[in-house]
Structures are given as structure tokens and as C-alpha cells.
Amino acid sequence: MGFKELIREARYTDALQMLLEIVKHSEDPNDLIAVSRNISKIPGSFYREQGFLPKKIAVLAGYSCDFITAVTRTYLLQHKIIADFHQTEYGLYEQAIHSRDKQLVSFAPDLCYFCVGSDQLGFLDVSDEIARWRALWQSTSALLSCDIVMNSFEEPLHRVFGNFECKWQPSASHFVRSVNAQLAQLAPGSVHFNDVNFLAGYHGRKNWRDERLYDMAKVPVSYDYLSAYARNLAAVCASAFGRSKKCLVLDLDNTLWGGVVADDGVGGIQIGNDSAGGEAYLRFQSYVRGLKDRGVILAVCSKNAEGLAREPFTARAEMVLKLEDISCFVANWRPKPENLVAISQQLEIGLDSMVFVDDNPMERDYVRQSLPQIEVVELGEDPSTYTATLSRAHYFETVAVTGDDLKRTEQYRGNSLRHELLTTVGNYEDFLKSLEMKACVRPFDLANLSRITQLINKTNQFNVTTKRRTESDVSRIVGNDGFITAFARLSDRFGDHGLVSAFIGEISSGRELRVDTWLMSCRVLKRGLELFLFQEIVRQAIKRQLVCIRGQYIPTAKNQLVEMLFEEMGFSRDSDTPGDGTFWHYDLTDQTTLHTTFHQTLCIERMEQAEG
């Protein structure tokens, strides 16, 4: 039975699974376009129940974009995003912005995508070209208040000056390189790039564009590479919406090195540049180490005796990855799905934020069937393909790298030390005191904008409304007198947790503060930080002469943890509206309520200045 029949019979779970299987296994644009046409036939309510994000994307069209938007919509399905597209008329992308196109404005997009390329460059003066695009970004942000994704410009295939173009500044090649480099350097945090120039080089410029198709229909990419183009674009959009993965879980034998350490011995495994296989594993480890260095959490899940599994990391100098790069190391003989659940619990992250790599197809299938929330990488038999396979899947696409990202491994290794301490102290309050915690709470600022946006888009469990915002959304709130905002940093004797909590409250005309966003990283649960932050919110609300704070808990599949947060903070419950969660209020004029809030015991010392 095909997915059309399944949809007609309202078997939406089976239909969605079939659509996703097509996306995973087919790169044929015809298949992907067919999926796109059927996505909207499944009710939006079903998608919302499954945790999909509805998002609106405006396409500012420098080319004919119908094929691109159709296949991109299909790939966004993999990221659990249901995308609605609005496309401007071909070639009128600048006019649509500068004339404040009514249809575009009323569409109110969450993201704008400029589908442009080198055909839209003037090839006269680099500084004028840079000024033109920067002005267009600024006008777009002012008009639509959303993040922007823009293509990089592909270098020309046909070079008038031949190889001399790399030296000759007036050449088209040199012009495109200069524009790409300067735009990337000058782009604000709300502007992201779909790197078409890289894609053209990766797949081969000669075949990247079908010049006959371009001449006839103004399609900027060959039909053969349409899926590669759209997959890349979908990954950038998904990252802007906070849908990237957090953790890479690795098998060891024949995954990080060649051979089986228990059979071949530490000296017998393949790693290093003394063999072709060893080179391949070395390259894969180098790529994985790079992911770790930019903030991806690494974990090990191996069927091995733990001591033997750890030995290559210390005994073989060729190993690029070291034990200190691994935030969670699990090696035993229990089933891997069981160990993966244990890893997610120890790291305090969701299963759906994990990617699993294992050379054994039986283990991969077992994990897929047991834990469908986890992405499982389909490795081939040849280790020389491992790096490319993981890279082209775009699981860890990012639109920003923050200071907290660069400390990620250190933060999670610190959590392991905290767990060990917890087992040695007499009670939980003694444990909290022994942590010697320090925290600071500050209003939102531009210096921490990327990290605040990242936290808003990735936090699921401790999140009362689960509202998602782009960096453009958050930037408009910074310094706005109509809001009270706060972020919190926490550190203890084991290290710095970084920026781990955020609050947005909007001031209404009735001198009330309405909680729009209140969230906290699961890494710092049950430390008292939520009360520490709330005390500061109450102080600021009283300072602004407000009389009440109103909150709403909107339930999701993942945020049951905060179902009673408002009650725990001293709120009173109002009458509820079916389907809208629960409603609460906190009376800022009630001295008894205020006394209770400010006289609870906290094991956190205040830091006066925010760090980093």
C-alpha cells in the first residue's frame, strides 16, 4: 500500500513513516517532489502531536525556485519541520523588499531565503556590491523581523583569463571570491549562508549547472544535484530553527579503529598512517575531534570490557581522540539500546538529540527498531567513506558557535564528577552546599544573543511554553522597555556551566508581566537556579511598579517536568482553558507571597558580574 492510500485511510503514522523512508533512501528529485506534494495531506494537528515545528519561509527569488522549494520542504520533514513557502515573483526579490510587498508582509515569515547567485552580481565594484547586499539585509530585517538565509555566490565555470584569474583582481573569479569573503565577515548573527559555492566545487562545477536548463527555465542547479542543493539548504534552515543534533555516540571496534581490540590486542588494531585502513580511521577521528572542538558532545557505546576499551586511547599515540574528549564512556556487554538510554540520562539530554555510529548493521537495525528517536548513521563497509557519510548528513549543522559551545565537553565531564560526588555525601542539601555554586542573573544583551537564541531553540524539558525564536526575534527584545528579560549563568567548584537559563516577560497595559519564555538547561536541574532567577524577576517587576506576574504552562510531550513550576514558585492557579494548558498568577502586592519567595534556602552565592 502506498502513502497516498495510507493518507486516504487516515493511517497517518504509517504514511509519515513511509514518507520519511523515501526521503532517507532516495535522492531522485521526482520521488522527493512527490513526497512534497503529499506532506500537506496529513493534518497539521497530527504533525503538532508528533513534535513537528510549523514554519513559514519566504523565498526571495532570483531564479526559478519551484523545484528547489519542493525538495527543500521534503528534506525539512527529516528535521521535524513542516514548512509553508511563499515565493516572490522571479527576479523581483529587491523590489519586493523595497516596495514592502503586501503579500510578503502579510505572510509574516519565520525565515527569508534569498535564492540568488552570481547571475545577480554587477561585477563592477566590490565595495558597492557589498553595500548593496548589506542594505538589502537591513531592509529585510526591518520589514519582516526574521532571520535570513542567503546563497554564497558560485565562482564562474568559464574563465576569461584562465589560470591567471586567481591573480588578476579585475577578473570575475577574483570578484566573486572577494564578495563571498567580505559578506561572510560582515554578516550579522541573523544572516546565515547556504554555501552554494562549496557545493558546486564539491560536486564539480562542470556538472553543477545544466546550462541548457538554465537558459530555458532559469533553474540555477542541474536536476542531478537538486537534492544536494535542497538538503544543504534544509540543514541551514533547520539549524536556524534549533533542530540540529547535540551528541555523537560512537562504537569503537571497526568504527574508530580497524580490528577488534579484544582479539587483535592494542598493538594490532589499525590506526595511523602506516596502512590505508589506518589512514581512513585517522581521518574519521580527526573529523570527530573537530566536531567536539566546536561543541558537539561525544560519547562511547561499546560492547567490550571497559578497561580494554579505554586502553587504545592511552596506549596508542596515533589516536587523535583522547579520553578527555569523551563526555560519557560506556563499555559493557549490555544491549546497546539500553546503554544509549543510560548515556542520555547521564548527559541529561533527549534521545532525539543523539546520533549513533556503529559499523555493525545488526546493531544499527536493533537501535533503529528499539529507539527510533535516535538518528542512526548508515555506514558503508569501507572506512574511507565514514567521514564523508557523517559530514554530508548535516546532523550537526550550526549557524553560530558560542563560547559555551567551545566549553561543552568540559561542562559535561564536570557533570560526571558531580554525579560521583552525589554518591558520597549524606543528603542532597549537603551535596548542593558542597558544590559551592555561584550564579549571576543579567538582562539580555547583544554579547550573549547567539547563546540565548540557541538555548531558546534547543531546550525542551524545562520550558514552560516551548516558544521558539530566531536571533532576529530575540535581538528586537534586547533593551526593549516593554519586556523584562533575564539570563542566568552558573558555576561551581567543578567548572563553569555557562549560560543555562533564560526568561522573557512582556509588560501589558494593566501593569502585569506575562511570562512568554522561561527555560533552563537540563544540565543544572534541581540546583535551585530557577528560584534564584525568579527572585530577580520579582525584584525587577516591583521596581517597574507592576502588580502581577501571569504565567501559562503549555504542555508538550517533553516538558512535564515543569507542569507545576508556577505552583512551586508561589503562583496561584486560575481557571484553565481546555487545550491551552494551565494559567497562573503571582500577586506582587501580597507581602506573604513575597516573604515566602525571598526566604527560601538557596545554596547559591550571587556573582555581581556576568562572565563571557
Q: Identify the pLDDT of residue 525.
A: 86
Q: Checking DSSP bridges between strand 495-507 and strand 512-520, what pairing results, if any?
A: antiparallel
Q: Identify the pLDDT of residue 423.
A: 67
User: Cα separation of 259 and 196, whole Å?
Assistant: 38
Q: Identify the pLDDT of residue 611.
A: 41
Where, residue-wise, is CATH 3.40.50.1000 in the chain? 247-392
pLDDT tens digits, one per residue of 192-217: 999 999 999 999 999 999 999 999 99
Residue 435 reports pLDDT greater than 90: no
CATH 3.40.50.1000, domain 247-392, yes or no: yes
Q: Is 212 exposed, middle or buried (0-12, 13-18, 19+ CB in 10 A)?
A: exposed
Q: Identify the pLDDT of residue 147.
A: 94
Where, residue-wise, is CATH 3.40.630.30 in the chain? 436-606
The DSSP 8-state label assigned to residue 397 in this structure reads: -
Give DSSP secondary structure letters for 36-63.
Answer: HHHHTTS-HHHHHHTTPEEEEEEEEESS
Per DSSP, what are the bridge partners of residue 147? 111
Where, residue-wise, is CATH 3.40.50.1110 in the chain? 52-240
Question: Smallest Cα–Cα separation from 281: which of 300, 310, 256, 316?
Answer: 256
Give residues with Cβ within 8 angstroms of 57, minimum separation 6: 69, 83, 84, 85, 86, 109, 110, 111, 112, 113, 237
Q: Checking DSSP bridges between strand 147-151 and strand 111-115, what pairing results, if any?
A: parallel
Predicted confidence band of residue 563 (pLDDT cuts 50, 70, 90): very high
**What is 52-240's CATH topology?**
Rossmann fold (3.40.50)
Percent of the chain clearing pLDDT 90 (strictly above): 75
> Can you give the length of the chain in residues?
612
By the 8 A CB rule, do 222 and 213 touch? yes
Phi then psi for residue 93, to 5 deg, are -65, -40
The DSSP 8-state label assigned to residue 571 in this structure reads: P
Residue 610 reports pLDDT greater than 50: no
pLDDT (mean) for 379-407? 90
**Which of the four CATH numbers 3.30.70.20, 3.30.360.10, 1.10.630.10, 3.40.630.30 does domain 436-606 have?**
3.40.630.30
- Which runs of consecutive H residues, i.e. helices, occur in 268-335? 276-293, 306-315
Q: Identify the pLDDT of residue 265.
A: 93
Q: Exposed e or buried b for every residue in 363-399, given b needs 16+ CB within 10 A? A: bbebbeeebeebbbbebeeebeebbeebeebbbbbbb
- Per the model's pLDDT, the better-predicted residue between 75 and 277 turns out to be 75
- Per the model's pLDDT, the better-predicted residue between 346 and 252 turns out to be 252
pLDDT tens digits, one per residue of 397-432: 998 888 877 777 777 777 766 776 666 766 788 888
pLDDT (mean) for 314-339? 95
pLDDT tens digits, one per residue of 103-161: 999 999 999 999 999 999 998 899 999 999 999 999 999 999 999 999 999 999 898 98
- Number of Cβ within 10 Å of residue 46's Cβ equals 14
Q: Rg (Cα) of the chain, in Å, rounded?
A: 26
Give the three-class secondary structure for 283. Answer: helix
Q: Identify the pLDDT of residue 608.
A: 58
By the 8 A CB rule, do 569 and 518 touch? no
pLDDT (mean) for 317-335? 95
pLDDT (mean) for 564-568? 94
- Quick one: angle between helices 226-240 and 66-78, nearest 10? 60
User: Cα separation of 91 and 88, whole Å?
Assistant: 8
User: Cα separation of 344 and 21, whole Å?
Assistant: 25
The DSSP 8-state label assigned to residue 524 in this structure reads: G
Residue 568 reports pLDDT greater than 50: yes
pLDDT (mean) for 246-250? 97
Q: Exposed e or buried b for every residue in 101-112, given b needs 16+ CB within 10 A? A: beebeebebbbb
The rounded mean pLDDT for the chain is 92
